[in-house]
Structure 1
Amino acid sequence: MNLADSDSDDELPPGWEERVTVGGYVYYANHLTKNTQWTHPRTGKKKKVAGSLPFGWERIVTQTGQIIYVNHETERTTYTDPRLAFAIEEKEHATDFRQRFDASSTALQVLHGRDLSGKVAIITGANAGIGFETARSLAKHGCTVIFACRNLYAAEESIEKIRTEERLNIADNCIAIHLDLSSLSSVVQFGNTIKSRYHQIDIIILNAGVFGLPYTKTLDGLEMTFQVNHLSHFYLTLLLEPLLVQGSRVVVVSSESHRFANLTASNLDPLALSPETWRHYWNMTAYNNSKLCNVLFARQLAKNLQGKGISVFSLHPGNMVSTGLSRHWWLYRLLFAVVRPFTKSLQQAASTSIYCATAPELVELTGIYFNNCCPCQESELAKNDEMALLLWNTSIDMIQGILGNNAPGLEEKRLGNTIFRSHQEY
């Protein structure tokens, strides 16, 4: 990635003005020479903005022929096209873009000026924590947001909270649909419901997760952390894949904890299925391994969808963010409480998910791991293509072992042959 050091070169010389055409192309007017040009007078770069106005704005032509722009949320009126504030340089290469946000950025800052009207997003675990902030931020900018949650009552409460807090009636864009990630049958039912109501999904954010659980089995008899954090999300994505179109994005919320995983080809299958793991189970290791699975899944899915214009990203939202994730053990609750003043807010933690789901500069990119809205290198094991392929096929085997070989959504999804290797070989 070629990241510029700063934005200082963007300042216009004296006498120059930045303007934009109705079609979204930026041009520059020199009031001293009375000339115009398409390239920035300092950088020599061209810029373009989104074709539509920011959410809540309207372009009005007065009776005298003047063009004004009205922000219906703040009741502000201006003669300057508000899209100019969000102009982005046209890239020579897909991987060329500036880092516009960092660890202190919020989800709403990332979305500032964006109009997501007509877009449909699915967010698992949207009723609380980072998922709620992600959903609220998308809905505030016109996106239809499906709250995919196990607790429908909590989801409806969260939607009502949005309804009472926001000036615009954005809660009408929020829909709660039941999804229990501890049950593959529930995943199938959710997938069928979505397919019956929608013909296209623009954004899938796999956000839900569990942490700090004692050894617990799901309704399907699998280890809880593995199934909820990885396997059910994996299956959900395959079921919804037919609804993804060019420009759609799949965002997998992982964690820097994936760097401490001990998952290998030799212990992948027993991790989820074998009773022998009860004796050696540690919930932190189970969590780390599930987060590695998230990155490996995103890596393989990006390869599978390459050429279809569908982007897949994985990310780290932030360290020990104050959510309900730590609720299962008093020691984790205490630790999270101690570090709370030094960690990200929920709005900051949601920013990277929002960035991956919506940033225009990520068009044509896929398979990247993000932290603080910036591309970064995942662990060496997370970059292992053989491990990613093995996880993919093993996940299919697990689902078919529970739902049968005719489980929907898995037709011809197996990829080649996988070879089990020893721990030493990895």
Structure 2
Amino acid sequence: MPFTTTVITGATSGIGKETAMALAKKGHAVYLLVRYTERGERLKQEIITATKNKNIYVMHCDLADMESVRNAADILKGGLLAVNVLINNAGGIFAERRESKDGFEMTFAVNHLGHFLLVESLLPLLEKGQARIINVSSEAHRMAKPNFNDLQWAKRPYSAWKAYGTAKLFNIYFTRSLALKYGPKGISAFALHPGVVNTGFAAGLTGFNKILMQLAKPFMISAERGAQTSIYLASAARVDAKSGRYFKKQKPVKPSAIAANEEGRNRLWELSMELVAPFLH
């Protein structure tokens, strides 16, 4: 693959870190979009030491803060000619309902809306780079029952896992919409399940949810193994024909029946566009 410019969110730990390290070894110029720049700088030095690749860059980007997302995109647009790979890796699950500074429910903001705004803001660079957009979803999408009249979980009892599963379903909807809308412009998009990975991802859970995660730990895979499908989609030579698909263990698989719902997919796009409109320019 020729020189590749890759942007990745959530790279300071877990599968994001393993993905960034692996792609740096393959010679990618890697832009680490991170919430905590100190951690990002430490990771940058770790990657440079391990790979001898000096084309590693750190940028602040808090996906729960739409202004931060827009600012990161503006900096990238000011310094790059194109982006070839965008990996929307960051995610989170929250034990209790919380709102972002913009008033969005945090699970929705971090797992979906921040990435939606990032893609829309970077669209000129993604088009020029004939980019692959990779959205890290989850098999948790199979528990989703989306309510488009209450995306923010303000009108019903909040459930950490149901909110998370719904956001992961939205990753699949988003992927399919990107493939259909921007495929004619040379952009491809993929969603993936990384596996049940042993990381600090669900550290904030409490009560029964925390007990469940502790019981599951012996059966979890390593972050290195969990990163393999992201790495594959970012670097394999011939996957673009499978744009719009959901991957597991480096192969396309069938997601839940609701993930194929065209009405829901289109509704999510329309509502997401309305919500990010004040932050686009």
Q: Determine if contact 2:83/2:129 at 8 Å carries over to the other structure.
A: no
Equivalent position of 2:106 in the other structure: 224
Match of 1:251 among 126, 134, 151: 134
Aligned pairs for 1:286-365 (under 5 A) are: 286-319=163-196, 321-331=197-207, 332-365=209-242
Displacement after TM superposition at 1:276 (Å):
2.5
Query: For residues 219 and 154 of structure 2, what CA distance do their matches in structure 1 show?
Result: 39
* CA deviation after TM superposition for structure 1 residue 338, in Å: 3.7
Q: CA RMSD in A?
A: 1.7
Q: Any unmatched runs of 5+ in structure 1?
A: 1-115, 410-426
1:117–1:159 CA distance, 2 compared to 1 (3 A): farther
Q: Does structure 2 retain, via aligned residues, the 8 Å contact 1:123–1:131?
A: yes
Aligned partners of 1:246 and 1:308 also within 8 Å: no
Superposition map of 1:91-170 within 5 A: 118-164=3-49, 166=50, 168-170=51-53
Query: Structure 1 residues 202, 399: CA separation in 2 closer, same or farther (over 3 Å shift)?
Result: same
SS in 2 for 1:270: coil
Structure with greater helix share of residues: 2
Measure, in 1, the Cα distance between the counterparts of 2:61 and 2:267.
27
3-state SS in 1 of match to 2:12: coil
Does the 8 Å CA contact 1:309/1:364 hold for their aligned counterparts?
Answer: no
Instruction: Answer yes or no: is 1:192 the counterpart of 2:68.
Output: no
Cα distance in structure 1, aligned partners of 2:199 and 2:149: 30
Q: Which structure's CA Rg is the greater one?
A: 1
Partner amino acid for 2:23? L
Q: CA offset at residue 212 of structure 1? A: 3.4
Aligned-partner residue type, residue 199 of structure 2: T
SS of equivalent residue, structure 1 residue 234: helix
Tell me how far apart the structure 1 counterparts of residues 44 and 205 of structure 2 sit (CA, whole Å).
28
User: What is the correspondence of 1:231-242 to structure 2 with a 5 Å cutoff?
Assistant: 231-242=113-124
Secondary structure of the equivalent of 1:132? Answer: helix
Task: Provide, for residues 372-424 of structure 1, a one-character-per-residue CA deviation record: whole Å limited to 9, x for no partner.
Answer: 10110011111111111110001111223xx2xxx425xxxxxxxxxxxxxxx
Tell me what 1:382 maps to. 259
SS at match of 1:275: coil
Alignment partner of 2:184: what SS? coil
1:408 aligns with 2:280: yes
SS of 2:266's equivalent in the other structure is helix
Query: What TM-score, normalized to structure 2?
Result: 0.94
Match of 1:214 among 85, 89, 96: 96
Query: How big is each residue's C-alpha offset from its partner over 1:235-291, in whole Å with a ceiling of 9 and x where there is no partner?
Result: 11011111123642000000011011010xxx224221x6323xx111111101100
TM-aligned CA distance change 1:179 to 1:269, over 3 Å: farther
Gaps in structure 2 of 5+ consecutive residues: none
Partners of 1:211 and 1:248 in 2: CA distance: 28
Q: Is the 8 A contact 1:269 1:394 kept in 2?
A: no
- Of structures 1 and 2, the one scoring higher in RCO (CA 8 A, sep 6+) is 2
Whole-angstrom CA distance in 2 between matches of 1:259 and 1:154:
33
* d(CA) in 1 for partners of 2:214, 2:159: 22
Partner Cα distance (1:209, 1:324) in 2: 11
Offset of residue 354 of structure 1: 1.2
The correspondence of residues 57-76 of structure 1 with structure 2, limited to 5 A, is none
SS of equivalent residue, structure 2 residue 238: helix
Q: CA deviation at 1:333?
A: 4.9
- Which 10-residue stretch deviates more, 253-262 or 153-162? 153-162
Q: Using the alignment, how far apart are the partners of 2:248 and 2:85 within structure 1?
A: 19
Q: Percent identity?
A: 36
Partner residue in 2 for 1:421: none
| CA distance in 1 between partners of 2:199 and 2:2 (Å) | 29
